[in-house]
Amino acid sequence: MNRLRAAILVPGLISGLGFADTAEHFPAENWLEASAEEVNLDQSKIDRLFDLSFADDATQGAAFFKDGRLITERYAEGFDKDSHGTSWSMAKSFYAALIGISIDRGEIASLDDPVANYLDYFNDERREITIRQILNMTSGLDFPSHEHEDMFFSSDHLAYARDVGVEKKAGQLFEYNNVNSMLLADILLQVTGVPADKLLADRIFNKIGLTDVVLWQDAAGNPLTYCCVDTTVRQYSRFGLLFARNGNWNGEQIISSDYVDETFTKVWDSLNSSTINQDRGYGMHWWISSHDERAVIFNASGKFGQYIFVDRTNDVVFTRITKYYSTGGSKQDWGSLRYINWFGSIEFRVALAEFLDWTGLIKMQADIKTPVTFEEGTSEEFFRDYSEIVDALIEASKS
């Protein structure tokens, strides 16, 4: 196992009376740091959460926040608080928040509006699909065995998404379909006239200080609204805090609390997967890791093991990302790899790209521009221990 480097945190501010300041905080340029004791938590329980998380060598970094303060963070050797990860599908939760803001602003009338009200090419067999069904992954759009991961390798992801037809009746079945999320780019563009990545920066990220960030586009210049936002553990956690605080940031209501409540409502449960052996729930482009008398914890989740866990009741955010080495840029360019992008399975293409990189025939960090996670950043133990990690998070969050 790699040696781990844990950050040593200075004590938080103490009031003149000698008692801990337990008021809620919002980070300015930097997070206010505090000890577990100052926020009435048990450091040993937090340590257990981190030990479980770093039992997986894929873990790049993790941080635990309580009451808007950074309590503990830890990074793998070679990484630190300024190291970027990539979100993969955590980006779905980010861009879905823009739908709520467009409703707040009257640009979209309702979650229950047909998508066809905003996208004219949905005036076919897709005409009954609603925005809510898109967000809840119940659109009924075609869902092939490759689960539309082929879209990631195309030059125009939005053109790909526009051409996907109906497979089944909407609202009947949960299917985690990337096309649903990519269509958010077009809905938001049609209702605002502004690309979704610019909206995300202007309407959310700049307001919460999440500015050290890369928002990926495809080769055609379309924002990738189903994946791929690069930033640091600390920066991702700002978005988690925004939802922990019901859409309010230091007095400004960025997203209506009603929309946050809608987002944090269980729609689907008993969802299992090949990677995580735990029944989970889903709704409005967020996953549910716990929803019982012990705790209600939602999370933004991304492929290979990216997580922002949010516990509104306890005002806790816990973020964990896996090892990532940026290829630079913010616009996809497959370079010479475009010649193999349609051969074989997704796994075959990734393995072939890694082999070509290893041989030096193609250098991933020089010859292409795209988010990519190698085997080093692919979770195994974190998925295996997911239930235990969630239990540890619940215990660590209790006063």
Q: For 101-110, what is each residue's pLDDT tens digit?
A: 999 999 999 9
Span 255-270, mean pLDDT? 90
Span 142-168, mean pLDDT? 92
Specify burial of residue 321 (Cβ count, 10 A radius: 0-12, 13-18, 19+).
Answer: buried
**Percent of the chain scoring above 90 in pLDDT:** 78
The pLDDT of residue 7 is 39
Q: Which residues contact 193 (CB under 8 A, 6 or more apart)?
A: none
Each domain of the chain, given as residue ranges in start order, spans 335-368
- Measured between alpha carbons, how far is 12 from 10 in angstroms, rounded to an integer? 7
Span 285-303, mean pLDDT? 95
Is this model's pTM higher than 0.75 or not? yes
Residue 14 has pLDDT above 60, yes or no: no
Residue 266 has pLDDT above 90, yes or no: no
The pLDDT of residue 13 is 36
The pLDDT of residue 19 is 35
Span 240-263, mean pLDDT? 98
Are the beta carbons of 209 and 250 closer than 8 angstroms?
no
Residue 130 has pLDDT above 90, yes or no: yes
- Measured between alpha carbons, how far is 34 from 65 in angstroms, rounded to an integer? 9
Residue 20 has pLDDT above 60, yes or no: no
- What is the distance, to the nearest Å, from the Cα of residue 90 to the centroid of all Cα atoms in its chain? 1
- What is the distance, to the nearest Å, from the Cα of residue 384 to the centroid of all Cα atoms in its chain? 20
- Measured between alpha carbons, how far is 48 from 31 in angstroms, rounded to an integer? 23
Give the confidence band of 363 by pLDDT, cuts at 50, 70, 90: confident
The token duo for 206 is 């700049």
Give the confidence band of 18 by pLDDT, cuts at 50, 70, 90: very low
- Measured between alpha carbons, how far is 265 from 202 in angstroms, rounded to an integer? 27
The pLDDT of residue 335 is 84
- Long-range contacts of range 129-135, CB-CB < 8 Å, 24 or more positions apart? 129/166, 129/170, 130/170, 131/99, 131/187, 133/170, 133/171, 134/180, 134/181, 134/183, 134/184, 135/96, 135/99, 135/111, 135/180, 135/283, 135/284, 135/285
Give the confidence band of 56 by pLDDT, cuts at 50, 70, 90: very high
Q: For 35-47, what is each residue's pLDDT tens digit?
A: 999 999 999 999 9
The pLDDT of residue 351 is 77
Q: For 189-205, what is each residue's pLDDT tens digit?
A: 999 999 999 999 999 99
Q: For 329-356, what is each residue's pLDDT tens digit?
A: 999 998 877 766 666 666 677 777 778 8
175-184, 250-259, 339-348, 383-392: least confidently modelled range: 339-348
Give the confidence band of 234 by pLDDT, cuts at 50, 70, 90: very high
Q: What stretches of 54-208 show up as alpha helix (H) in DSSP? A: 90-104, 131-135, 157-162, 178-192, 196-200, 206-208
Give the confidence band of 151 by pLDDT, cuts at 50, 70, 90: very high
Look over the chain and give the mean of its residue pLDDT values, rounded to a whole number.
Answer: 90
Quick one: which of 296, 276, 275, 300 has its CA closest to 287? Answer: 300
- Measured between alpha carbons, how far is 392 from 317 in angstroms, rounded to an integer? 13
Residue 282 has pLDDT above 50, yes or no: yes
The pLDDT of residue 362 is 77
Give the confidence band of 24 by pLDDT, cuts at 50, 70, 90: confident
Between β-strands 69-76 and 32-33, what pairing exists: parallel, antiparallel or unpaired?
Answer: parallel
- Measured between alpha carbons, how far is 255 from 247 in angstroms, rounded to an integer? 5
Q: For 61-117, what is each residue's pLDDT tens digit?
A: 999 999 999 999 999 999 999 999 999 999 999 999 999 999 999 999 999 999 999
Between these two residues, 263 and 267, which has the higher pLDDT value?
Answer: 263
The amino acid occupying position 166 is V
